[in-house]
Amino acid sequence: MTLDRPHRRWNPLRQEWILVSPHRAARPWLGAAEKAPPPNRPKYDSGCYLCPGNTRANGMQNPNYTELFVFENDFAALLPPDQSALELPSAPFIKAEAADGICRVVCFSPRHDLTLTDLSATAIESVINCWTQQYSELSRRPDIAHTMIFENKGAIMGCSNPHPHGQIWATSYIPDIPLRSARAQADYVQAHGRDLLGDYLDWELRAAERIVCANSEWVAVVPFWAMWPFEVTLLPRRGARHSGELHPEQVAAWSELLQQLLIRYDNLFDCSFPYSMGLYQAPSDGQSWLGFRLHQVFFPPLLRSASVKKFIAGFELCAEPQRDLLPEQAAARLREVSAVGRKIS
């Protein structure tokens, strides 16, 4: 099989196929073009709900924070447990259950004009340590089975506020995608005696063609099964189920490689590169989840330029995921761009 023809690739974590159509990468585009975000934002915005000292929509006032700031989401998608029962019509095909949880917001910086990309490696390390503290606290709660840490960057990804921030949704259940991934990794270690992502990382390091950047502790790779054009997964060379199991030198190396990847993203199309980021860590439902390996994923929507994005529609919504640009080509393009960021004053 030659990779320049249509073919399918298996995602062992999501347990699904993806159709790869490399011959379509050069098709003409007359569709929608995204508007670029404003080039300059103020360091402080009096109308921003996340800036220090400002009043949020619910009337609460932010402290005059100087580093990180974490608070309960004012418009949480999940709420604390409610003892009242769900009332549903009775039918064999109807099923529902309570969905409880805790939603928090993590402001990465007091400065309104920065992004995670603009932070120093030391500041990014502080963000990672905050993620670790939040995961540790929430995963110890008996009413929490899973903690999802994520960031939506850019209006194109539905981000409602440009102030640099991420979110944490801790749920009373394990959501479908993390559950499939955790089960796949548990099944693999039971069958092979080794962890799935550890074996996969070794395979990628031997192949070398999808590696974007790496250091002594972490590797950034465009996955063989990537769906998004410039999708990247960050993997630790030494296995850990969650960030609390990492040694200090692993955390420092993570922050350095994360900074390098984010700068490469911005330099690819000379823009503040939008993405959705997710940090996958072991569930906290009481099971050991042997074989689980911590990993961080980035799903950027941009396809050809800062104004042309990939749409999930048609066949992808109704049948299975599909991509045009080969993952190998995407990795090569990310390797070629500079890892030197803009100067911040």
Question: Of 146, 165, 242, 295, which residue is the catalytic one?
Answer: 165
165 carries an active-site annotation: yes
What order do you get walking across the sheet with 16-20 strand by strand? 7-11, 16-20, 322-323
Judge residue 35's burial from the number of C-beta atoms within 10 Å of its C-beta, 0-12 exposed, 13-18 middle, 19 or more buried: exposed
Residue pair 246/279 in contact (Cβ under 8 Å)? The answer is no
To the nearest 10 degrees (0 to 180), the angle between helices 248-268 and 327-336 is 90
DSSP 245-298: GS-HHHHHHHHHHHHHHHHHHHHHTTS---EEEEEE----SS---TT---EEEE
Q: How many Å apart are CA 215 and CA 158, to the nearest integer? A: 32
Q: How many Å apart are CA 128 and CA 281, to the nearest integer? A: 13
Q: How many Å apart are CA 337 and CA 265, to the nearest integer? A: 8
Q: How many Å apart are CA 259 and CA 100, to the nearest integer? A: 34
- Between CA 107 and CA 184, with CA 175 as vertex, the angle to 5 degrees is 115
H/E element, 330 = helix 327-336
* Encoded tokens for 327: 């993952």
DSSP 85-119: PP-----TT------BEEEEEEES-S-TT--GGGS
* Encoded tokens for 122: 């030391």
Q: How many Å apart are CA 246 and CA 240, to the nearest integer? A: 6
| Amino acid in the structure at residue 228 | W
Catalytic residue numbers, as ranges: 165
